[in-house]
């Protein structure tokens, strides 16, 4: 099954993705991880991407599209894939449709996680991250056993500089302007299932799994 998961920052895409890939045995493909992997493996596309990243420039759509095309054809994606963070724009969506159709890897379903701003704000501002092992916590829903100290490695957890109301407003504006049209694009093709992601992770995933079960 070929899945695209979408939603604003704090919607729970990471949590849902972890459960989906475990239950459906498909790889979780995010553009950030994909870029780092291609650079680490020193592939031709990875070397090209690195030249942009090292100079502080944005990696162009053409290169991102090529990296995604390469990634979804790897052996671990034979059963399908879970895309996260791509396509971000209407131009990427239109290009990816051509790419995926040409290799028989078209998207089967788009999971759109819908969350109200106040809920996102609580999730984002309460998030804490271990700078050492990258474990993620939340002061309300997943606090550390010892206040402020990572359960796994004992490092002091931090609040990321972009986990603020101000930054959330910027990201939401960007989401509305760039990513929302992508959801509309797939909605017109009948591929989108909207999920109320303001609920508990268990309740949200129950809806997600039900939606995926109708496609599998």
Share of the chain above pLDDT 70, in %: 100
Q: What is the largest CA-CA distance in the chain?
A: 52
211: pLDDT strictly greater than 90: yes
106: pLDDT strictly greater than 80: yes
pLDDT at 37: 85
pTM reported for the whole predicted model: 0.83
**C-alpha–C-alpha distance, residues 141 and 170, integer Å:** 25
Task: Give tens-digit pLDDT for 147-181.
Answer: 999 999 999 999 988 889 998 898 888 888 888 89
Q: Which residues are catalytic?
A: 13, 88, 127, 160, 171
Q: Do 197 and 115 contact (CB within 8 A), yes or no?
A: yes
pLDDT at 148: 96
Q: What confidence tier does 121 reach under pLDDT thresholds 50, 70, 90?
A: very high
Q: Do 83 and 71 contact (CB within 8 A), yes or no?
A: no
pLDDT at 32: 79
Backbone angles phi, psi at 32, to 5 degrees: -60, -50
Q: What confidence tier does 6 reach under pLDDT thresholds 50, 70, 90?
A: very high
Task: Give tens-digit pLDDT for 29-82.
Answer: 988 788 888 888 888 888 988 888 888 777 888 999 998 998 999 999 999 999
pLDDT at 175: 86
**CATH number of this structure's domain 2-115+173-213:** 3.40.50.300
Eight-class DSSP state of 178: I
Question: What are the structural domain ranges in the chain?
Answer: 2-115+173-213
User: What would the mean pLDDT of 4-10 be, rounded to a whole number?
Assistant: 92
Axis-axis angle for helices 31-40, 61-71 (nearest 10): 80
């Amino acid at each position: 099954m070929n899945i695209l998961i979408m939603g604003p920052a704090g919607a729970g895409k990471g949590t849902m993705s972890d459960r989906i890939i475990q239950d459906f045995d498909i790889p979780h493909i995010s553009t950030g991880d994909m870029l780092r992997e291609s650079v680490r493996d020193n592939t031709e596309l990875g070397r090209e991407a690195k030249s942009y990243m090292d100079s502080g420039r944005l990696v162009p759509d053409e290169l991102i599209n090529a990296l995604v095309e390469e990634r979804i054809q790897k052996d671990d994606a034979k059963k399908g894939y879970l895309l996260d963070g791509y396509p971000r724009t209407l131009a990427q969506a239109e290009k990816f449709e051509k790419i995926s159709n040409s290799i028989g890897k078209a998207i089967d379903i788009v999971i759109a996680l819908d969350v109200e701003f106040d809920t996102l704000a609580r999730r984002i501002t309460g998030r804490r991250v271990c700078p050492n092992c990258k474990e993620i916590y939340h002061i309300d829903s997943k606090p550390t056993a010892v206040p402020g100290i990572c359960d796994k490695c004992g490092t002091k957890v931090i609040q990321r500089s972009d986990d603020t109301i101000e930054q959330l407003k910027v990201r939401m504006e960007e989401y509305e302007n760039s990513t929302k049209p992508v959801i509309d694009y797939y909605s017109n093709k009948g591929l989108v299932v909207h999920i109320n992601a303001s609920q508990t992770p268990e309740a949200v995933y129950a809806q997600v799994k039900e939606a995926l079960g109708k496609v599998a």
